[in-house]
Amino acid sequence: MKTNPDKLLGWNFEEEEISAGVYRVVAVDCMGRKVERTGTDLEKLRAECRRDVENIQQNLIEGRTFRVELPDSNIGRVQSL
């Protein structure tokens, strides 16, 4: 399902159940920046993606770029090109 929680400008969110009880939430902006979270708690994944997007937006405002790879236990990725 595609959504735009909290009307985060320029970002589209998509969530899907990729296995029984396992969800993936992906957010992509119009420039191709992408945030992806995978896990079993859909509400937590949504909140983490929103927070990641807000962090990217703040870093862009401050003129910083970054790339973070989170531990496999969280199976999440944040990328900014």
Domain range for residue 47? Answer: 2-79
Say which residues have a Cβ less than 8 Å from residue 15's Cβ, sequence separation at least 6. 1, 3, 23, 24, 25, 26, 42, 45, 46
Task: Summarize pLDDT for 61-81 with one digit per residue, the tens.
Answer: 887 665 655 555 545 555 544
Q: How many domains does the chain have?
A: 1
Higher-confidence position of 67 and 58: 58
Give residue 23's identity as a one-letter amino acid code: Y
Instruction: Answer yes or no: pTM beyond 0.85.
Output: no
Q: Is the pLDDT of residue 8 over 50?
A: yes
